[in-house]
Amino acid sequence: MDIELELKALAKAEEDLRHADERILRQEHLTEEMRRDGHDISIALDLLLVLQETREAMLDHRELIVANLTRMMGQRRRL
């Protein structure tokens, strides 16, 4: 992969993380609202956990992209 494609992948990964943060925040608010209204929140909490775990996987993916970019930039400097 070339550096330009990796930079695009990094931008996409960061955008995906921002969207994940928004979804998590929204789910937290909805779960709290459901709790206040006396509803069973077990499924809402399960969904929140899945969203958080998915975000962690996205973060791991972003870190791989950064590591790849770092490696590619180092190779480029040696040329």
pLDDT mean across residues, the chain: 95
pLDDT tens profile 27-72: 999 999 999 999 999 999 999 999 999 999 999 999 999 999 999 9
Mean pLDDT, rounded, for 7-17: 98
- Which residue, among 17, 43, 19, 18, has the nearest Cα to 31 in the 3D structure? 43
Q: What is the pLDDT of residue 40?
A: 98
Q: What is the DSSP track for 7-62?
A: HHHHHHHHHHHHHHHHHHHHHHHHHHHHHHTT---HHHHHHHHHHHHHHHHHHHHH
| DSSP for residue 39 | -
Domain ranges of the chain: 3-78
How is residue 34 written in tokens? 């459901």
Q: How confident is the model at residue 79 (pLDDT cuts 50, 70, 90)?
A: low
Token match 């480029």: residue? 76
